[in-house]
Amino acid sequence: MGSNNTSQHDARQPGGSGDRVYDYIRLVVADSRYLDSEAEWRIIDNAVFQLGMMPLDVKSYLLGAATLGGFSTESMITRVLSDIAAGMRAKSSRISKDQFKYLVETAIAMSQDELSTDKAENLAKAACEGAKLRARRRWLVGTRRWYNRISPSDKQTV
């Protein structure tokens, strides 16, 4: 068989690349129950370049390990926030401050309180902007300062 089949075969064998990347993921999350995007990229980078795995395979192992291990990743939280924001967009093109707080609280809860409020607000705002939600004014002369003061996350997600 070709070299492609060998790396896939190794990932399924005990002691193969898959076991090594899973063990590495468990070591990385030993200190924290949350992986930010930098830690995710570091895991993917190490597995691709040192173990010869495919990026999609590593991502699958990472998400599987997160699900089984009870920890969360920034890309998982971003995905959930984006789905919630898209659901909000189906009902209205504007988001209230209470709805935005719900997104922030969801992000913090999913990270098991490892995520700071500022970072959670950045992720929630990025999800709102992705869903093309705009801040709703409070009352007639209300402002959107609560939303405008948050700088969206400019990092690329995994």
Same domain, 135 and 102: yes
- Whether residue 2 is predicted with pLDDT greater than 50 in this model: the reply is no
157 belongs to a structural domain = no
Task: Give percent above pLDDT 90 in the chain.
Answer: 57
Mean pLDDT for the chain overall: 84
pLDDT: is 23 or 86 the higher one? 86
Runs of H (alpha helix) within 29-116: 37-51, 55-69, 74-91, 97-110
Among residues 70, 97, 122, the one where a domain terminates is: 70
**Mean pLDDT, residues 19-31:** 85
Backbone dihedral angles phi then psi of residue 94, each to the nearest 5 degrees? -120, 150
Same domain, 140 and 112: yes
Domain range for 55 is 3-70
Contact 121, 102 (CB under 8 A): no
Quickly state the pLDDT bin for 145 (edges 50, 70, 90).
confident
- Whether residue 138 is predicted with pLDDT greater than 90 in this model: the reply is no
Q: How many domains does the chain have?
A: 2
Among residues 52, 70, 88, the one where a domain terminates is: 70
- Whether residue 51 is predicted with pLDDT greater than 80 in this model: the reply is yes
Same domain, 49 and 10: yes
pLDDT: is 108 or 147 the higher one? 108
Quickly state the pLDDT bin for 13 (edges 50, 70, 90).
very low
Same domain, 11 and 54: yes
91 belongs to a structural domain = yes
Same domain, 82 and 58: no
14 belongs to a structural domain = yes
